[in-house]
Each structure stands twice: as structure tokens, then as C-alpha cells.
């Protein structure tokens, strides 16, 4: 049974140690700001297998030829056909089921046969600015190539097809709108784990574990008591990074701040318990810090979808990304910041982060031993 008095005593002890440790305080509050400023710019990469939904309202040989040209390019992968233009594209883009929705109007072939300019609409998810820019470039090139073939075959003078594109969520295709929300996930994974990786290892190195072992405090109370201050710091950091992103970089915030805080809490607890687990196993501050950096920075930076789109990774590497909690929090931050989606869209990510936090609490409690060896 967890006693609130003993829990608060451990938390208060950790707060006092934090106040005396200037380096940890700098790491907790200065590093997030530095990383946001440094990484607030674009990083480009190649894009393949672009998830594409099609709404063919014409259903003619002409429209099928155009869609076949998209499919034959090797860049676009057709995933689903929305039945209703009013709801389908928005729902698909909201949930991330498609990155681009191609809309062929019902008078497409009729306009071509009458030598009039036909229109094709492309609705692109602009949450990831670089991917959206590359996707638009591919789409325009395919439409222009098909347009030239139609013009050559029919002898028309003007361009027979006009491409009408609109970008949702990140209308200006500014990379900062993609980078900054992603940095919230990456930074919090690193900071929370690195800070808590010093907690138990510090007790062993300073020789205070004997005092802790002689108290009636249980293992769960020690772990939770040491986690509490860092969870609070983590929430403050989320607010700090979010405010900097909106104020300094002008990133839109369209969702619920309350939902962001709730889901951030689940993620921070999970990341912090990973640090406590490392600290309990390593028993050395230097080793614990190194392990925390290796197990958080590289996976969160490279395998969460922050740097590279997960769907273009090799299958084996894509399977590994399911074990990276930052992958799910990245969907949460970008969804809340840019799309303004709610819990009905993010509930799966929320449940997975809660499961990660529960597993982390269990593992860190089991790894911690009060016995002196």
C-alpha cells in the first residue's frame, strides 16, 4: 500500500537534490529551448509510396487513363476511394489514411472531348511540408505529361487539363510547422529519460542508498516519489516548447491545449520510467546518462517519423518503430497543433502511451532493489 506521506517525503528529497544540481536544472529548462531554436528548419528527404485516395466522379476511359498514369509512376499508392466528396477527403486526411486525395470532376472527359480545359483537384496533407511539396511536384508533372499526350492526340491548342491543388493544415508549406510540433515529442523523450536516469544511480554513487534502504519506504513509493518532480518539469517543458513554437515560429495551434496536456502526461510518465529503469540497472550516473542518450535520442530522432516518413522505411525497420513511444506522441502533437483533431482520432495513440507508461512503472519498480550488495 502506497503511503502519501512517505511518497511526498521521497519527492521532497528529490526536489532538494534538484535545487542543488545546477546542471540538471539547466538540462531541464535550457536544453529544450536550445533544441527548438536549432532544429526549427527544414530537412528534406525522398518520398515514395505516397498514400493516395481517389474520388473519380467521371468514371470514364479518360479519367482511368489519368489515374493509371499516377499509379504507373511508382510514387503513388492507391489506398481507398471515398464515397462522399463532402466527408471522405477530410476524414481520410484527418486520420492520416491518405497524404493526397485526387478528385476527378464528373465533366472531365466531356471537357476534353469538347476541347475545353478540364480540371483535376489534388487535396494534399500539408502537415509534413517537405513531403507535401514533393507530392505536389510529382502530381503536377504527371498531369502535365498526360496533358501533353492528350493535346498531341487531339490536336488541341490550349492546355486540355488544369490542375487545381489545395494544401490543408499547412497551407504555406512552411517546414517550421512540421518541425516544431515534432520537436515536442523528440525533446520530451530525451529530457525526461536523461533527467530520471540520474535519480537512483545518484543514490548509489553518493552512498545514500544505505539510508534509503533502512527506511520503511517501499520500492513503488521510491520510484513514484522520484518520478513526481520530473513529471512536473516535463509538463512545464511541454508548455514552454509549445509557447515558443507558437510565439517565435508562428506555428498554428488549432487543437485542445487540455488534450495535449493529458496525452503529454502519459508520454512523459512513460519516458521518465524508462530513465528510472536505466538508473536502477546501471547504478552509475555516467553509464546511465550514456544509455539514456542512446536509447532515446537516436530512436526518437530517426525512427519516430520526425526525420523520415515511416512508410518509406524498410519493412523490418518499420516494425521496430512500433516500439518507439515518440512515434505515437509525434502523431498527437502534429495532429493537435496543425489539424486540430480530438480524442476520437488520437485515442489509439493515447492508449498505447498509457500502456507504455504502465509497463515502464512495472519494470522500473521491479528493477529497483533496496538491498545493499
| CA nearest neighbour of 259 among 347, 178, 193, 184 | 347
pLDDT digits (tens, 9 = 90+) for 222-260: 888 888 888 999 999 999 999 988 988 888 999 999 999
**CATH of span 50-168:** 3.40.1710.10
pLDDT digits (tens, 9 = 90+) for 125-139: 888 777 888 888 889
Burial of 176 (0-12, 13-18, 19+ CB in 10 A): buried
pLDDT at 44: 44
How far, rounded to the nearest angstrom, does the alpha carbon of residue 282 sit from its chain's CA centroid?
29
Query: Mean per-residue pLDDT for 303-329?
Result: 87
> What residues contact 330, with CB distance under 8 A and at least 6 apart?
181, 182, 185, 186, 304, 305, 306
pLDDT at 85: 55
Query: Mean per-residue pLDDT for 47-73?
Result: 87
**Res. 177 pLDDT band, cuts 50 70 90:** confident
Lowest mean pLDDT among 170-179, 268-277, 350-359: 170-179
Query: Mean per-residue pLDDT for 334-357?
Result: 93
> Three-state SS for 251?
coil
Give the three cell numbers for residue 342: 480530438
**Res. 346 pLDDT band, cuts 50 70 90:** very high
> What residues contact 10, with CB distance under 8 A and at least 6 apart?
217, 221, 222, 224, 225, 226
pLDDT digits (tens, 9 = 90+) for 178-221: 888 888 888 888 888 888 887 777 777 776 666 666 667 777 78
pLDDT digits (tens, 9 = 90+) for 137-174: 889 889 888 887 776 655 444 555 666 777 788 877 67
> Three-state SS for 69?
helix
Residues 243-276 as b or e (16 or more Cβ within 10 Å = b): ebbeeebebbbebeeebbeebbbbbbbbbbbbbb
| CA nearest neighbour of 104 among 119, 116, 93 | 119
Our CA angle for 298, 302, 307, nearest 5°, is: 140
Query: Mean per-residue pLDDT for 5-32?
Result: 80
pLDDT at 134: 84
Question: How is 279-337 classified by DSSP, letter by letter?
Answer: HHHH--HHHHHHHHHHHHHHHHHHSSSSSS-GGGS-HHHHHHHTT-HHHHHHHHHHIII
Percent of the chain beyond pLDDT 90?
21
Task: Kindly tell me if the per-residue pLDDT of 285 is higher than 70.
Answer: yes
pLDDT at 261: 95
- Whether the CA torsion 333, 303, 36, 133 is positive or negative: it is negative
pLDDT at 157: 47
User: Pairing between strand 118-125 and 100-104?
Assistant: antiparallel
When the pLDDT of each residue in the chain is averaged and rounded to a whole number, the result is 82
Highest-confidence range of 169-173, 208-212, 297-301, 344-348, by mean pLDDT? 344-348
Highest-confidence range of 85-89, 105-109, 255-259, 306-310, by mean pLDDT? 255-259
Query: Mean per-residue pLDDT for 71-76?
Result: 87
Residues of each domain in the chain carrying CATH 3.40.1710.10? 50-168
> What residues contact 48, with CB distance under 8 A and at least 6 apart?
74, 75, 312
pLDDT at 356: 93
Amino acid at each position: 500500500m502506497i503511503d502519501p506521506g512517505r511518497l511526498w517525503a521521497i519527492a521532497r528529497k528529490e526536489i532538494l537534490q534538484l535545487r542543488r544540481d545546477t546542471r540538471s536544472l539547466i538540462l531541464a529548462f535550457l536544453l529544450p529551448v536550445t533544441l527548438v531554436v536549432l532544429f526549427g528548419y527544414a530537412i528534406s528527404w525522398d518520398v515514395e509510396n505516397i498514400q493516395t485516395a481517389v474520388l473519380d466522379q467521371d468514371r470514364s476511359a479518360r479519367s482511368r487513363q489519368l489515374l493509371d498514369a499516377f499509379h504507373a509512376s511508382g510514387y503513388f499508392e492507391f489506398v481507398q476511394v471515398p464515397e462522399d466528396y463532402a466527408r471522405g477527403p477530410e476524414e481520410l486526411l484527418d486520420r492520416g489514411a491518405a497524404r493526397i486525395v485526387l478528385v476527378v470532376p464528373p465533366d472531365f472527359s466531356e471537357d476534353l472531348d469538347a476541347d475545353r480545359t478540364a480540371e483535376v483537384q489534388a487535396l494534399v496533407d500539408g502537415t509534413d511540408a517537405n513531403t507535401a511539396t514533393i507530392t505536389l511536384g510529382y502530381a503536377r508533372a504527371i498531369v502535365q505529361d498526360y496533358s501533353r499526350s492528350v493535346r498531341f492526340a487531339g490536336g488541341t491548342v490550349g492546355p486540355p487539363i488544369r490542375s487545381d491543388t489545395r494544401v490543408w493544415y499547412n497551407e504555406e508549406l512552411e517546414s517550421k510547422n512540421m518541425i516544431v510540433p515534432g520537436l515536442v515529442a523528440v525533446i520530451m523523450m530525451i529530457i525526461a529519460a536523461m533527467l530520471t536516469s540520474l535519480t537512483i544511480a545518484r543514490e548509489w554513487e553518493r552512498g545514500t542508498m544505505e539510508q534509503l534502504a533502512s527506511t520503511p519506504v517501499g520500492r513503488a513509493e521510491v520510484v513514484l516519489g522520484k518520478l513526481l518532480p520530473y513529471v512536473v518539469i516535463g509538463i512545464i517543458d511541454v508548455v514552454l516548447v509549445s509557447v515558443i513554437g507558437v510565439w517565435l515560429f508562428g506555428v498554428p495551434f488549432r487543437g485542445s491545449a487540455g488534450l495535449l496536456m493529458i496525452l503529454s502526461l502519459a508520454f512523459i510518465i512513460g519516458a521518465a520510467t524508462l530513465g528510472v529503469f536505466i538508473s536502477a540497472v546501471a547504478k552509475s550516473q555516467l553509464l546511465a546518462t550514456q544509455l539514456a542518450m542512446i536509447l532515446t535520442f537516436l530512436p526518437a530522432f530517426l525512427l519516430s517519423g520526425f526525420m523520415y516518413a515511416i512508410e518509406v522505411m524498410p519493412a523490418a525497420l518499420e516494425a521496430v518503430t512500433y516500439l518507439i513511444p515518440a512515434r505515437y506522441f509525434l502523431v498527437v502533437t502534429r495532429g493537435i497543433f496543425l489539424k486540430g483533431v480530438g480524442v476520437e482520432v488520437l485515442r489509439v495513440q493515447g492508449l498505447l502511451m498509457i500502456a507504455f507508461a504502465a509497463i515502464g512503472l512495472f519494470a522500473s519498480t521491479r528493477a529497483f532493489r533496496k538491498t545493499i550488495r
